[in-house]
């Protein structure tokens, strides 16, 4: 009796009894449940998913033989995956880490309800960032070149005469002196015109475009903008994107 009383007071005996009780309870609760840790179970939902992927790829449902092949391929993939995990092949692999990162980023992205914005919020966002969305004006024009060294007289006088011809409906292709410059320029940003033909010419063309947009009488009038250089003088007939046309004279 003294020995039993001493054992009843030993912490080690208490630990052994508690552990035995835990194992016994686990054995009773788990009795009859199959161990599925080493089994691969293909559920009905997984089989349906494989069939749907096949149908989207081949535009038809799989035959019974093809579905059997899909299931076998899935089981084989699962076997290799589990064995690879056992060997720790999923660790320290850059591709796997990046793939896991992509999945987490996808899961952490806000939903459509969070990203949705009304017109008031969008307009406020645009007003606060106008410079980021500003589009440079674009111009298209035809030009008539006048050689200042020509024997036909003063270039300014000839420019004024040719301008009157243009206002009367003359064809720019038949007027002016020969030049290697293009007869017309397609719709181009103002920066490109400034780069190719000079800042003074681009500025004159831009001012003419603004003038034609203010009133109808200005659109019918001719605008002569003079900027002298020692190189060339040109008469241009410009057309804006909206189709309004005017005439301008400037140095290029």
* pLDDT interval class at 3 (50, 70, 90): low
pLDDT tens digits along 36-59: 567 889 999 999 999 999 999 999
* pLDDT over 80 (residue 168): yes
Give the integer Cα–Cα distance in Å for 130 and 212: 25
pLDDT tens digits along 63-82: 999 999 999 999 999 999 99
The answer to whether the predicted template modeling score (pTM) of the entire model surpasses 0.85 is no
Per-residue pLDDT at 220: 30
The answer to whether 185 touches 252, Cβ cutoff 8 Å, is no
Per-residue pLDDT at 233: 36
Give the integer Cα–Cα distance in Å for 135 and 123: 17
* pLDDT over 60 (residue 114): yes
The answer to whether 175 touches 220, Cβ cutoff 8 Å, is no
* pLDDT over 80 (residue 8): no
Identify the CA nearest to 157 among candidates 197, 183, 165: 165
Structure tokens at 150: 């020509």
């Amino acid at each position: 009796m003294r020995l039993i009383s001493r054992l009843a007071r030993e912490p080690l005996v208490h630990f052994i009894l508690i552990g035995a009780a835990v194992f016994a309870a686990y054995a009773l609760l788990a009795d009859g449940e199959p161990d599925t840790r080493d089994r691969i179970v293909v559920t009905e939902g997984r089989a349906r998913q494989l069939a749907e992927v096949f149908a989207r790829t081949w535009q038809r449902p799989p035959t019974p033989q093809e579905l059997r092949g899909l299931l076998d391929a899935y089981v084989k993939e699962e076997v290799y995956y589990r064995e690879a995990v056992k060997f720790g092949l999923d660790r320290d692999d850059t591709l796997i880490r990046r793939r896991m990162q992509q999945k987490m980023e996808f899961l952490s992205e806000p939903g459509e309800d969070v990203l949705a914005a009304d017109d008031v919020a969008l307009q406020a966002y645009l007003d606060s960032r106008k410079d980021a969305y500003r589009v440079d004006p674009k111009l298209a024009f035809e030009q008539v070149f006048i050689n200042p060294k020509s024997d036909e007289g003063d270039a300014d006088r000839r420019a004024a005469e040719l301008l009157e011809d243009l206002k009367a409906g003359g064809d720019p292709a038949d007027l002016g002196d020969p030049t290697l410059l293009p007869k017309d320029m397609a719709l181009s940003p103002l920066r490109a015109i400034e780069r190719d033909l000079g800042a003074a010419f681009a500025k004159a063309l831009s001012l003419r475009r603004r003038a034609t947009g203010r009133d109808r009488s200005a659109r019918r009038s001719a605008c002569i903008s003079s900027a002298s250089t020692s190189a060339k003088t040109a008469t241009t007939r410009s057309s804006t994107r909206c189709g309004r046309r005017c005439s301008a004279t400037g140095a290029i």
